[in-house]
Copies of this chain bind each other. A is one copy, B any other.
Amino acid sequence: METTKTPDMSRRQFLSTVGKLGGGAAVFSVMGTLGLLSPETLKAADFTPPDGNELAMTKRNGKKIVILGAGIAGMTAAYELGLAGFDCTILEARARSGGRIWSVRRGTTVAEIGAAKQVARFDDGLYLNAGPMRIPQFHVTMEYIRKFGIPIEPFNNVNDHAYYYNENVGELSGKKIRKREAKADVRGYVNELMAKAVNQNALDMPLTPEEKEKLVAYLRSEGGLDADLFYKGTSRGGYKDEPGARLDAGVIRDPFSMKAIINSGFGNYLSSEYGYDQQMMMFHPVGGMDAISSAFEKRLKGKIKFHSEVTEIKQSGSGVTVSYINLATGEAKQIEGEYCICTIPLSVLKQIKADFSPDMKKAIDSIGYASAGKIGLQFKRRFWEEDEQIYGGNTLTNMDISSIYYPPTGYMQKKGLLLGYYAFGTSADSLGKMTFQEREAHALKQGAKIHPQYHKEFEASFSVDWKKIKYNEGGWVSYSGDQRQTVYPTLCKPDRRVYLAGEHISYVTAWMAGGIESARAVVTDIHERVMKE
């Protein structure tokens, strides 16, 4: 991409100024003139990695930085600061890197807080991405995937051949229907109503007759309406008898009644595909999300101290001392750095002794975390593909399990591992309270209402309740009320020599990209601060 560099302001500052003067249209126009491509490209362009020569030239090379946590934020910071000549050490309590990036495979064990040990007994090659499992194509995460040469494949976030299944919603209760059926019917009926209303001038709209005609043409196309603007079912919703060879023209399914479809609540599921960070295409690394954390770890050889549980953070005028226990040896140790980047989730950090300012302490203490839980179910046979022709995507339901995600990888292999539930909020809480065995039984019982094959084909499960996972204690940060205005700004500022980073220090919460963005902001700040010293 060719761009005209403006030496004394970043591209973004420049465009922001243009925007203030001329509005969004002016920004677009200037972007066009400059050969810039879209607002989406600006975020990545925001970060200019520190020049690796600057520190060396001022003989400040080797400044010691202590980083707490080898999740994606901590490793991004260590990676970028390392390139700039800083000497980083990451303390990581676990034996592995990645944090919430966690691909559960055969032999993976976990003891949730207050619960028994669970061992994954999946077959080799099958895995559960217990944490992040998909990446929007425009996220900064893709930059590192590109840089590190990590093989990726699409994550099937949309599949009209998968199902909706709701209970206690009237006529369609307890029926699994292909998503395409609900989509065709709800769009059909609503656009029929709308098209007729427009045609009869029943709506007050500031449109010319020609524009009204165009609107009706759109409504007709959107709803699959006939020439008289009636919705009578279309092939979009599928067939009761598929078309085939010779005279077999197929028979289109009969639409559900408008009342049935409205009461089903299925219509409300449609917009789950419209969310900015849920829209197709999405991607994931081949073989497990931890391909990303492993790629970072490989580039941080010798810089990560595993089994190192932080016990205290203490600052002086010239540095930060972090006390930790080596969990492998039981030894109490200390490490000093000129600066510290703390990526520990606030739910955990608030339990660690630290001499933060009272404001910072109060802020950390006040923040809540979201409940989230997943269960991986291994089956002998990929019946969703073999019997039901569903290749990836998800089925949505109003049962506790909320959703079933079919594996977006390994198509047509013999066995398969699907996500038996991915639950949030109160559903996640009630599932989380159960033992592993109870969760498995519950996921199988509810899932079998949609896939009776569950009973015969099930082999092994592994479940995770993020609130009960040590060193995380929550799925992702959850700011409530006016916390973004009140306490959040405190978290964003360094507390003397300690900087917070992680998805919780961003507006891209719950995504790896949030961790990366926040780490890059800290990298820039520390570099600038050291250069000014």
Q: Show the binding face of A for B, using Cβ within 8 Å.
A: 1, 12, 16, 19, 23-25, 27-28, 35, 37-43, 46, 137-138, 142, 145-146, 149, 152-154, 156, 158-161, 175, 178, 180, 183-184, 186-187, 190, 193-194, 197, 202-203, 205-207, 211, 214-215, 217-219, 221-222, 224, 235-236, 238-250, 253-254, 258-259, 262-263, 265, 267-268, 270-271, 274-276, 279-281, 283, 383, 386-393, 408, 411-412, 452-453, 484, 488-489, 492, 505-508, 514, 517-518, 520-521
A508 contact set on B, CB distance < 8 A: 243-245
Each complex incorporates copies of this chain amounting to 2
Partner of A391 from the list B35, B211, B281, B452 (CB cut-off 8 Å) is B281
A39-B253 contact in complex given A203-B202, A219-B190, A276-B238, C-beta closer than 8 Å: yes
A42-B242 contact in complex given A156-B280, A280-B158, A492-B247, C-beta closer than 8 Å: yes
Check if A159 sits within 8 Å of B506, measured CB to CB: no
Closest B residue to A267 by CB, please name it. B218
Q: How far is the CB of A232 from chain B (nearest CB, A)?
A: 14
Check if A391 sits within 8 Å of B137, measured CB to CB: yes
A521 to B244, CA, bound (A): 9
A387 contact set on B, CB distance < 8 A: 1, 37, 41
Partner of A40 from the list B214, B238, B452 (CB cut-off 8 Å) is B238
Name 24 A/B residue pairs within 8 A (Cβ), A-sorted. Answer: A1-B383, A1-B453, A35-B452, A39-B242, A46-B244, A138-B161, A154-B408, A156-B280, A156-B281, A158-B158, A161-B279, A180-B276, A190-B194, A190-B215, A206-B258, A218-B262, A221-B267, A224-B274, A235-B275, A236-B276, A243-B508, A244-B517, A245-B518, A281-B391
A271 contact set on B, CB distance < 8 A: 221-222, 224
Other A-B pairs beyond A197-B203, A244-B517, 15, CB < 8 Å:
A19-B241, A24-B253, A37-B387, A38-B178, A39-B241, A137-B389, A160-B280, A190-B219, A214-B263, A218-B262, A236-B279, A243-B506, A244-B508, A245-B506, A245-B520
A46 to B241, CA, bound (A): 11
A265 to B217, CA, bound (A): 9
Closest B residue to A187 by CB, please name it. B274
A222 to B160, CA, bound (A): 17
Check if B268 sits within 8 Å of A221, measured CB to CB: yes
A236 to B271, CA, bound (A): 9
